[in-house]
Amino acid sequence: MSVRRRDFLAGASALAIAGFLPIRFSFAQPAGEELPRLPVLHAGERGAFRLDAVMGETAFAGGAPTPTLGFSQPYLGPIVRLNTGTTVQAEVHNGTNRDISVHWHGLLVSGDVDGSPHNLIRPGEVWQPELDITQGPATLWYHTHVHGHTAEDVYTGLAGVLIVDDGRDDDRGLPTTEGVDDIVLVLQDKRVGPEGSARYERTLADALHGFLGNTILVNGVTGPVASVPAGIVRLRLVNASNARNDDLAFDDGRPIHLAATDQGYLPAPVEIGRLRLTPGERAELLVDFASAGDGLLVSLPHDEGHGAGMMMHDMGGPQQEDPFTTAFEVVSFRVSDGLPVAVTELPSKLAEELPEAGEPAASRRITLNDMGMMTGGMGGMNMGGMGGMNMNDADGPLLDGQPVAFGINGNVFDMSRIDLEVGLGTTERWTIGGEMMGHPFHIHGARFRVVREHDGPVRPENSGWKDTVFADGEVELLVEFAHRASADFPFMYHCHVLEHEDLGMMGQLTVG
Ligand code: C2O
Ligand code: CU
Ligand code: CU
């Protein structure tokens, strides 16, 4: 056991006293390799960028090569940087053997270029959407979104990061040197088998609570080490896991500052001790390595309160440890005197306060149906023609002989049904809640603010503009619909546990 590990365990028991669950490590980390920097495409300079979806192979956690998918590389894709106020010509080539789409998650564009399941790109085809970048700076991401196999294909690697930049971050006093003091961290968990293979093999239990891995990858590797300057460093975190909620903190409990949520900056950095980041969410943190020195970012064990362990055991899933109560080392940071220090003080102002919200044009209740399958049937849900689900019915999961499906407001997703019609330029009040579990809920082409969480205060993670929120109990949102979506290219709203999405917990809305 290394010194570093002992330090972590000491820190961990301090956290356990503070009320967390006991820490259990279930696997050994290889000695840290340098954090891979993802390649960067600057669309701003030419107003254009190109992505090539390709098939490749990747060896995870020192194991045997596993077939993977990626954009312009074997696994994951480049960071695409877009400038506010530009029109960008994107070009996506599908060099794989399956249908893909490329959804720009968090990019506020109209439905026809959103990359939803309606923007299918068949093998060998090219898709050329024109993207109007009207929003302010934010860390977004892109991923394939073909109904019925989003989970497998995102897990296998068809995901990347988008950064919108307005050129004013230096004025704000934020770190801006890509890969030095402005570092992208894509978190994706993998289930690495004994021979090192990390294929996507979904069990019934995975279908029910989402596919959880046994190791966390950061930019494709386990337990990397990032060299950082002795100053303030910006970490752009993206949770690209299918189902894992991360509860991130430094092992020594140092304060971290939250600078941005999904849709951009908070008015000023907010000090937090830990960051909950659920699938689809992003956050930007500022960490002062001058005062605190080397550090280890960990994902803490946590209780989601949705009985994942119970479900796994009751549903005949693998008798493994409850994967939510396992702690993971995520990335360690080593301060390097050789790296230039650009920012030494926390910025005091990043953005305007959120404006007063107008009266909502409509109030809707969105119930995420996760109970139908728990009662051994569909619980009265409208299957809307399973054909509409466009899934491999042959190998779809069964529970007591019934297909497992999820829904929203009693309807299983159907590509040919429009569920909601929203007025362009309106704000709506949406109250979101699951029946049994918490779900990360996402809306395409819109941004929202969280105005209520169960009955407690809104947590810092939800205090800014968002496009994805963990509905644990009930959350109330004010959603701004400022971008058009027709019935041919509607916006999706769905649970971002990708297994739930693929099995029907998704709906479609038009804005016009
Ligand atoms: Cu990140 Cu509809 O997805
Ligand atoms: Cu999206
Ligand atoms: Cu869900």
**Three-state DSSP class for 203?**
coil
**pLDDT band with cut points at 50, 70 and 90 for residue 309:** very low
- pLDDT score of 311 more than 50: no
CB of 105 closer than 6 A to ligand 1? yes
Beta bridge partner(s), residue 132:
87
pTM of the model: 0.90
Other Cβ atoms less than 10 A from the Cβ of 128: the count is 12
Starting from the CA of residue 445, give the closest ligand: 2
CB of 149 closer than 6 A to ligand 1? no
Position 459, amino acid: R
**How far is ligand 2, taken at its centre, from the CA of residue 204, in Å?**
26
Which tokens sit at 210? Answer: 């989402």
CA distances from 436 to 88, 123, 218, 244, 306 (A): 42, 39, 30, 17, 6
Determine which residue's CA is closest to atom 3 belonging to ligand 1: 105
Closest among 243, 164, 235, 257 to 203, alpha carbons compared:
243
Distance CA 458, CA 466 (A): 13
**Three-state DSSP class for 462?**
helix
Query: Phi and psi dihedrals of 34, rounded to 5?
Result: -60, 135
Q: Which residues contact 463 (CB under 8 A, 6 or more apart)?
A: 261, 266, 270, 450
Q: In what order do the strands lie in the sheet with 182-190?
A: 221-222, 215-218, 182-190, 232-239, 282-288, 256-261, 264-272
Percent of the chain with pLDDT over 90: 72
Distance CA 190, CA 200 (A): 9
**How far is ligand 3, taken at its centre, from the CA of residue 256, in Å?**
29
Average pLDDT of 152-178? Answer: 97
In this predicted structure, what is the pLDDT of residue 25? 36
Which tokens sit at 386? Answer: 């399973």
Q: Which atom of ligand 1 is nearest to the CA of 106?
A: 1
- pLDDT score of 24 more than 80: no
CB of 274 closer than 6 A to ligand 1? no
Q: Which residues contact 12 (CB under 8 A, 6 or more apart)?
A: 23, 251, 298, 327
CB of 280 closer than 6 A to ligand 1? yes
Q: Which atom of ligand 1 is nearest to the CA of 492?
A: 2
In this predicted structure, what is the pLDDT of residue 395? 58
CB of 444 closer than 6 A to ligand 1? yes
**How far is ligand 3, taken at its centre, from the CA of residue 352, in Å?**
33
Calculate the dihedral angle through the C-alpha atoms of 403, 189, 256, 28, rounding to the nearest 10 degrees: 130
The H-or-E segment that residue 474 falls in is strand 474-481
**How far is ligand 2, taken at its centre, from the CA of residue 268, in Å?**
26
Average pLDDT of 500-505? Answer: 95
Average pLDDT of 422-449? Answer: 96
Distance CA 183, CA 502 (A): 31
Distance CA 207, CA 497 (A): 10
- pLDDT score of 471 more than 60: yes
CB of 160 closer than 6 A to ligand 1? no
Distance CA 107, CA 137 (A): 11
In this predicted structure, what is the pLDDT of residue 190? 92
**How far is ligand 1, taken at its centre, from the CA of residue 222, in Å?**
25
Give the residue carrying structure tokens 């800014």.
464
Distance CA 131, CA 193 (A): 40
The distance from CA 433 to its chain's CA centroid, rounded to whole angstroms, is 19
Distance CA 76, CA 130 (A): 22
- pLDDT score of 459 more than 80: yes
**How far is ligand 1, taken at its centre, from the CA of residue 103, in Å?**
7
Q: What is the pLDDT of residues 44-92, one digit of tens each?
A: 766 999 999 999 999 988 788 999 999 999 999 999 999 999 999 999 9
CB of 118 closer than 6 A to ligand 1? no
**pLDDT band with cut points at 50, 70 and 90 for residue 388:** very low
In this predicted structure, what is the pLDDT of residue 325? 64
Identify each DSSP E strand in 278-319 by its residue range: 282-288, 295-299
Q: Which atom of ligand 1 is nearest to the CA of 280?
A: 1
Starting from the CA of residue 151, give the closest ligand: 1
Q: What is the pLDDT of residues 184-230, one digit of tens each?
A: 999 999 998 877 788 898 888 888 889 999 889 999 999 999 999 99
**pLDDT band with cut points at 50, 70 and 90 for residue 379:** low
Starting from the CA of residue 373, give the closest ligand: 3
Closest among 447, 512, 508 to 484, alpha carbons compared:
512
The H-or-E segment that residue 433 falls in is strand 426-434
360 or 12: which leads in pLDDT? 360
In three state form, how does the secondary structure of 369-410 look?
ECCHHHHCCCCCCECCCHHHHCCCHHHCCEECCEECCCEECC
**Pairing assessment for the beta strands 264-272 and 256-261 based on DSSP bridges:** antiparallel
Print burial letters for 271-307: b (CB count within 10 Å at least 16), e (below 16).
ebebbbbbbbbbbbbbbbbbebeebbbbbbbbebebb
Q: Which residues contact 285 (CB under 8 A, 6 or more apart)?
A: 234, 235, 237, 256, 257, 258, 259, 275
Determine which residue's CA is closest to atom 1 belonging to ligand 1: 105
Beta bridge partner(s), residue 270:
258
Average pLDDT of 463-485? Answer: 96
Starting from the CA of residue 499, give the closest ligand: 3
- pLDDT score of 330 more than 60: yes
Please answer whether residues 327 and 5 qualify as being in contact, where contact means their C-beta atoms are separated by less than 8 angstroms.
Answer: no
The H-or-E segment that residue 154 falls in is helix 150-155
CB of 147 closer than 6 A to ligand 1? no
